Amino acid sequence: MNSRRGVALVLVLWLLVLLIALAGTFVTISRTEYRQGVYARGSVQARYAAQAAIELAAARMLDPDLASRFVPDGRVYRFGLGAAQIALSIHDEASRFDLNASDPVALSDLFMALGEPEERALALADAIVDWRDPDDLLQINGAEDPQYADAGLPYGARDSPFETVEELQQVLGMDYDTFLKVQPYVTVYSGVTPVPDMASAPVLQALGMTEGEIPQFVADRAAWVPGRNEPPLLPGGTFITASGSGMYSISALASAADGSRARLTQTLRVGSAGRDGQAYVLLSRREGIIN
């Protein structure tokens, strides 16, 4: 009889342990789901705040008063928007090298300005031109279909213009690290030679500005506030202008009140009516959640 009571007591104790473990698991799951819900809410708030900041920037870039516009030279503007904090930067697409319009010399100069050896810079530049041109004629250091086959790639040169900057990763000889280096300084939207007014230092160097001139020019431009002080002079003696090309890459990093962050980058052609009566056309969009 006593042995039966002992077994029953042990079973009850094991049942209690199991129930406590199940309760603990339930509490842990509930806490995790709650935290995930809070994080998801914060992430959504951050994304919407980033989108709102870009809408604000697009509207500002349409202001006929140049002094009211953001300067599209990549400087960071910080401000509050609702409960979120925003870090906003704008780049004029015309300040970048167009992959479909730049000649091999200009492209190789850009790669060398980014630290690539001359031989590799020439090869990458020629491969870019062979990728986009419609013929099968090989640039001196370039790559057409046979070179892609020799490299074991299942595709050849596209023989048509680049549609996105990301497509550059498919060009023979382009590795990911080099792509990340050159990505901020190239575009597929301008169709023109880069305008130095708002260009970054590597673009200025590739355009022929000397290493002694670049730091002072960039510093003077960073200190320039339209409507408050005089714009800096380019080495040729002309003042830069904030009028812009109308095509901008706008990046917004939004931080929500709970610490959630989201980054959104859009390339827009402002001043052209988009869908639903928007005052711009969306050319590209990248977004991400930052932990």
In a domain, 90, yes or no: no
* pLDDT at residue 269 is higher than 50: yes
The CA distance from 68 to 66, in Å, is: 5
Q: Which of 159, 119, 122 is nearest to 137 (CA)?
A: 159
Name the pTM for this structure: 0.81
Alpha helices by DSSP H, the chain: 2-60, 104-113, 118-132, 145-150, 176-182, 201-206, 214-222
Q: Which of 115, 130, 109, 133 is nearest to 173 (CA)?
A: 130
Q: Which residue has the higher pLDDT, 277 or 190?
A: 190
In a domain, 129, yes or no: yes
**pLDDT-derived band of residue 96, with 50, 70 and 90 as boundaries?**
very high
Cβ 181 vs Cβ 137: under 8 Å: no
Q: List the structure tokens of 117.
A: 């050896």
In a domain, 135, yes or no: yes
Give the pLDDT score at 236: 78
In a domain, 48, yes or no: no
> pLDDT per residue over 136-148, tens digit each?
999 999 999 999 9
Phi, psi of 84 (to 5 degrees): -100, 155
What CATH number is associated with residue 140?
1.10.40.60
In a domain, 85, yes or no: no
In a domain, 137, yes or no: yes
The residue segments making up the domain with residue 109 are: 97-193
In a domain, 83, yes or no: no
* pLDDT at residue 32 is higher than 70: no
> pLDDT per residue over 150-171, tens digit each?
999 999 999 999 999 999 999 9
In a domain, 215, yes or no: no
Number of domains the chain contains: 1
